[in-house]
A and B are shown apart, each in its own frame.
Chain A
Amino acid sequence: DAGVIQSPRHEVTEMGQEVTLRCKPISGHNSLFWYRQTMMRGLELLIYFNNNVPIDDSGMPEDRFSAKMPNASFSTLKIQPSEPRDSAVYFCASSWDRVDQPQHFGDGTRLSIL
């Protein structure tokens, strides 16, 4: 089992640049979650998909953030334009679509916006 795969592991870029984070969920899982973790706010859900359809994007901070899931094996989280306050660790997780199923997390992308 390959687990949830995220790329890149680290990203450092200047403010104003576009940032794209990628996630490959565990094969067969039909729910995918994007989280952001900061020291101040802890872990927060940004958006989650079920069967490739966005179900809840209420956690997406603003229009600069967008997420897509074009197929069952790939999702992207894009920030354009990026700002220093977007610096955080971004996690992707996947699971079976039941509330009693555990979520499996990727290793995260550590994003630094200068």
Chain B
Amino acid sequence: EAQVTQNPRYLITVTGKKLTVTCSQNMNHEYMSWYRQDPGLGLRQIYYSMNVEVTDKGDVPEGYKVSRKEKRNFPLILESPSPNQTSLYFCASSLRGGEAFFGQGTRLTVV
């Protein structure tokens, strides 16, 4: 089954404790991206990657890092999480110029 898999689905952490949210896709898509979703703001792009070892900032990249060492994986790293990063996060993948397929989401709470 074609899918985008994120882990964990839920995470509660404390301010400053580094964390990684993993994302994996099995569709051999070139393009992957991370979004955060906040009430009243819709989905906003954090980072994207057009291929292996190619990443770039989206609209709200501050406080986040990503890496793309393999085509299928695109982890999101929060080196020092803060409460304003409490949000619902989505990973997405697509072929170039095609529709994005989204994961099920990761609900992160930073206390």
* Same complex: no
Interface residues, chain B, CB within 8 Å of chain A? none
A binding-site residues for B, Cβ under 8 Å: none
